[in-house]
Structure 1
Amino acid sequence: MDPAERDANLVHEAVKKKDENYILVLIEVSCVSTPDHLMAVRNIYRKLFSCSIEEDVASSPALQEPLKKMIVNLVSSYRYAGEHVDMDVAKLEAAQLSEAIREKQLQRNEVVRIISTRSKSQLRATFQQYKEDQGTDIGEDINRQCSSQVGRMLKSAVWCLTSPEKHFAQVIRYSILGLGTYEDMLTRVIVSRAEIDMKRIKEEYRARYKSAVTLDVAGDTSFGYRDMLLALVGSED
């Protein structure tokens, strides 16, 4: 499929599932995509399914508030794609995020607004300001302070917006840990990122898990499926 059509179909399947792993699809498509790609996904979705992504997310029985509100805002966003950054805004919003995380109030309107409307360049500046102010990474603080589903999904959104290789390395690792393989997750990541940022994902995976994507995928899959995945992943440098 064309990438936008593929993502539209992935989203359509994901909104019907209660499994948290499928909620990640909504986070990935809305946060990793460029503004124009996300708009293309939304346009194709309407043509294929005679409704909008926003409608289906808002009415999905698999999603509960306040997570539903955050995802509706994410899938309906159209961000500025340039490099301009306002450091005064970054300082203010880093402080707002810090307060919300410290008080475990991730559903606050300003948190949803910041994550769903600010450009990726602006968010990188805000998250860097957060690190300078707090001495810790915002993703680590969300993970430590807020163990709820909203917290886990917000951390994934933060990574997808500014460091997608961290998110996808973690998804690959999770999909092959333990008995069996989450084939949907593993296939989704490798197919969708093969021609975009697989090199960075492999570097992040090796740095974090002290192993190679190719080695771990080969050890957890077999036959033609394994060969297809390894061909897409490419050789390790």
Structure 2
Amino acid sequence: MLKTLFKSTTVTLFSLYSAFLWWIGYEIGRIPDKNELVLEREKIIYPFLLGLIPLAAAALNYFINTQIEEQSKTIIEEKEKECENKVKSYAINHLRTLGLVEIELRKSNEPVATECLLKVNSFKEIFKNYVNNYEVSQEIVKWLDNRKEREKLLEKIVAETLRKNNISAMSSVSRAFSQDIGRCVNWLRDSIDVLDKRRVYPPEMTTALSKIGNNFKPYKDALTAIKLDDELQQRSGNTGIIEHYLDELIKELMKS
């Protein structure tokens, strides 16, 4: 993609710019008598032409960066859609297989068939929930990947928690605590992205704990506030994804 972009835009623009400079120089060279007036023109034109070089380079750089950003965004969206389709296809194929197993089990008169049917139906519900939760999870991840929204969420949650627990917002403890909650949000994002609880590293996610007398309450308050955040609740709907993973995280961190 980048090779094509550079070949099609960079070379073309530089060629046009070079042709423009050549034309100006050619026209100046055609003047037969270099009298004082011509020399004065050259003093003005040559610095002007040289001054256009960095401007052209800056404009070209901006144009290329814009193109790269647009192309990257398109590719990311295509990959996300491709991944979503693969997940759905994977789940649908397994649901179809379970459906065939269910049909065969219903034909059987064996006592164990009833128990197996219950397990098959249980698996079917798991796959159905996975597909539904996956779509929701990607919406949540997309929102958390928005740097502006993510920072706004962290600032609000941390500020409210510090005020609630009488911790100075200007202290080194507050900075460490803010970074810890940021790591917790990273964990939440990564877990939701794959709908699987990622490994928890309590020492790295609770660095301020010892500085506040091993009092876990501020962490629980902050994570609970994230769990109840309107924006996240709106995106998670009735799936309970946010609550599930944050409750798991609180349990793991409280063990430390």
Q: TM-score, normalised by structure 1?
A: 0.23
User: In terms of Rg, which structure is larger?
Assistant: 2
Richer in helix (by share): 2
